[in-house]
Amino acid sequence: MIRHIDIAAAEIFEFKEKNPQRYKELIEVGIRIGFGESPAEWGKVDSTPAQIRAKYLPKDADYAALTNAVIEGEVKEAEKLTAALLEKGRDPTGIVVDALMPGIQTVCEIYDNGDAFVPEILLANDALVAGVALCQVRLGDMPSAGRVASLVVEGDVHDIGKNIVAAILRANGFEVIDLGRDVLIADAVNLAKKEKLDLVTGTSLMSTTKEGLRTLAEELKALGVPVACGGAAVDDHFVETFSNSIYGKSPLDAVKIAQAVVAGKDWAEVRKEMKIGKGQEKEKVKN
């Protein structure tokens, strides 16, 4: 909007008269931005690496040792500890969700606060993948619970979460075709035309790539394949702005969505069920 400077100045003085408190706040915000601060960072609680580790560390000592191996990016150690847990008869899905995943969450949050670097994330991811692979071997060949394709949308290389989602779906008996990261919508559509898919899971970690989920869901609608959408860049409000889509927060939500779709429910029904489930959890917390 272009205004003449006199008009703009008059409006500013008028605003100051009418709303002095808000005027003061806005001036302070302007000064902070002027000094190079980013509003996106305001209100963020900066935890120390030790606090973040404590937040995610499992209470179970065996699980905690594995979580620490992931955090340290010790691939061999993570493999050894996972194998030992499986040998003891611990549940492979439990090992992924409650021991391996907390490790990667920890490193990612420490990185986010500026206290870790990219190689540390990548090593932690290698340790996670090594553990997940052993858990998958233990699960062996199960009768297929359904067919799912998993991908990260075009322009986005953040695939750690997608890998976890694919692993948990496999652990629950689903056949997963992993399309990888930075995936073109056309590639997903071509796959859905060739293969019988029950569901596609789409991940987006960036606000610049999340619109890819909308296009993906819209394109797959004609083929009758719904899209479960997740990743830190999206929430239920966003996902509900388009059809043929169901929002899920955790990898276990992806499993619930896949099971419901395979049971013959359509995307709108599953979306409703997922929302009710979330509401009930909140009620439980209140009680």
Q: Is 111 in the site for ligand B12 (CB under 6 A)?
A: yes
Three-point CA angle 262, 267, 268, nearest 5°: 140
CB of 23 to ligand B12, least distance (A): 31
Range list of β-strands (E), 13-87: none
Return the number of the residue (85 or 217) whose C-beta is nearest ligand B12.
217
Could you say whether residue 231 binds ligand B12 (CB under 6 A)? yes
Strand partners, 180: 151
67, 106 in Cβ contact below 8 A? yes
Binding of ligand B12 by 155 (CB under 6 A): yes
Sign of the alpha-carbon dihedral angle for 41, 106, 154, 234? negative
233 sits near ligand B12 (criterion: CB under 6 A): yes
Residue 71 to residues 81, 126, 253, 277, Cα–Cα distance (Å):
13, 11, 25, 32
Q: Give least dist CB 18 to ligand B12, A.
A: 35
Task: Give the count of beta carbons closer than 10 Å to the beta carbon of residue 173.
Answer: 16
Q: Does 103 bind ligand B12 (CB under 6 A)?
A: no
Footprint of ligand B12 on 234-263 (CB under 6 A): 248, 250-251, 253-254
Pick from 206, 236, 242, 262 the residue near ligand B12 by CB under 6 A.
206
What's the rounded Cα separation, in Å, for the pair 132 and 86? 11
**Cα–Cα distance list, 174 to 43, 45, 251, 259 (Å):** 40, 38, 13, 9
* Residue 259, phi then psi, degrees to nearest 5: -65, -40
CA distance 78 to 131: 6
Among all residues, whose Cβ is closest to ligand B12? 161
- Considering all CA atoms of the chain, what is the largest pairwise distance in Å, rounded to the nearest integer? 78
Residue number, 74 or 109, with CB nearest to ligand B12: 109
Size of site (CB under 6 A) for ligand B12:
34
Binding window for ligand B12 (CB under 6 A); candidates: 3-11, 133-141, 172-180, 198-206:
198-206
Does residue number 112 form part of the binding site for ligand B12 (CB under 6 A)?
A: yes
Q: Is 198 one of the binding residues for ligand B12 (CB under 6 A)?
A: no
Closer by beta carbon to ligand B12, 162 or else 170:
162
Residue among 53, 162, 170, 214 that touches ligand B12 (CB under 6 A) = 162
Residues that bind ligand B12 (CB under 6 A): 104, 108-109, 111-112, 118, 121, 155-162, 164-165, 201, 203, 205-208, 228-233, 248, 250-251, 253-254
